[in-house]
């Protein structure tokens, strides 16, 4: 199930986006549902199920699209955003991990379909990581993991708002995340590139405020992986 949010104060544009999304996803045999918003404030008040893709107008009364982005960066209810606007000069202000694309009005069907294709692919790549618990087995989506730290006989899995203890080895988590955005930075640490706020030489500043060390032998591969990830988000995402 893909849940699409559409936030625009103009009914015409909401209807147009919904019609294009419905036609494309139905043709792909992809189940979907829609949540419509008339203002940025309604998005910020949203408490429903996870929205996989939010089409967000920039210019609206009250909280505009850029203000909404700044407030939902750590909100797991809103997963990916496509900005829709007539103001192309604002494009670079919308760049963010959550941002899939910047579409100019009048809307282009191909642009919307490309965004849908990307979010369906990324959702499939968002695998669940398995870890052992006292009671049995726990599961956590890849994109929720900020970092993993080895602590003796268990691992500490840090998320934006919680910390989980798992009775698994860091090697086990590393094997499950091989080829994903979770990479080894140190003998005792894994970090998720999706949650790196800044790279400072031998440390990574994470979005939850944690600082992850980068071991000497990992400095080059971590830098290489980090800049490749940034390029994939800012340039290659919708190719």
| Shared-domain flag, residues 15 and 117 | yes
For residue 91, what pLDDT is reported? 78
| % of residues, the chain, pLDDT over 90 | 69
pLDDT digits (tens, 9 = 90+) for 52-82: 999 999 988 888 889 999 999 878 889 999 9
pLDDT digits (tens, 9 = 90+) for 159-191: 988 899 999 999 999 999 999 999 999 999 999
d(CA 79, CA 95): 14
For residue 238, what pLDDT is reported? 53
Residue that finishes a domain, picked among 71, 91, 125: 125
Residue that finishes a domain, picked among 98, 125, 152: 125
Residue 235: pLDDT over 80: no
Residue that finishes a domain, picked among 90, 125, 160: 125
| Shared-domain flag, residues 132 and 117 | no
pLDDT digits (tens, 9 = 90+) for 112-164: 999 999 999 889 889 999 999 988 999 999 999 999 999 988 999 999 888 99
Q: What are phi and psi of 214, to 5 degrees?
A: -115, 115
pLDDT digits (tens, 9 = 90+) for 12-31: 999 999 999 999 999 999 99
| Shared-domain flag, residues 113 and 184 | no
Residue 237 banded pLDDT, cuts 50, 70, 90: low
The residue segments making up the domain with residue 196 are 128-236
Based on its alpha-carbon atoms, the radius of gyration of the chain, rounded to whole angstroms, reads 19
Instruction: Pick left, alpha or beta for residue 197 (phi over 0 → left; psi -120 to 50 → alpha; otherwise beta).
Output: alpha
| Shared-domain flag, residues 112 and 136 | no
Residue 92: pLDDT over 80: no
| Shared-domain flag, residues 62 and 140 | no
Q: What is the CATH number of the domain that holds 62?
A: 3.40.50.2300
| Shared-domain flag, residues 95 and 114 | yes
Asked whether 13 and 43 are in contact (CB, 8 A), the reply is no
């Amino acid at each position: 199930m893909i849940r699409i949010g559409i936030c625009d104060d103009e009914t015409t544009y909401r209807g147009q986006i919904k019609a294009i999304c419905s036609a494309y996803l139905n043709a792909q045999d992809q189940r979907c549902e829609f949540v419509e918003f008339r203002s940025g404030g309604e998005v910020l008040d949203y408490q429903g199920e996870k929205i996989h893709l939010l089409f967000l107008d920039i210019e609206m009364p009250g909280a505009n699209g850029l203000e909404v982005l700044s407030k939902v960066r750590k909100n797991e209810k809103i997963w990916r955003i496509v900005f829709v606007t007539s103001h192309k000069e604002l494009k670079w202000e919308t760049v963010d991990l959550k941002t899939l694309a910047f579409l100019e009005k009048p809307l282009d069907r191909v642009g919307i379909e490309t965004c849908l294709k990307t979010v369906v692919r990324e959702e499939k790549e968002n695998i669940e990581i398995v870890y052992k618990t006292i009671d049995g087995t726990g599961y956590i989506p890849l994109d929720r993991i900020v970092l993993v730290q080895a602590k003796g006989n268990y691992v500490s899995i840090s998320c934006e708002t919680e910390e989980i203890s798992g009775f698994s080895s860091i090697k086990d988590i590393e094997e499950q995340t091989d080829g994903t955005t979770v990479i080894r930075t140190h003998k005792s640490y894994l970090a998720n590139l999706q949650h790196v706020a800044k790279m400072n030489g031998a440390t990574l500043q994470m979005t939850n405020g944690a600082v992850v060390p980068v071991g000497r032998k990992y400095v080059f591969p971590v830098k290489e992986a980090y800049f490749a990830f940034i390029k994939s988000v800012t340039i290659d995402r919708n190719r």
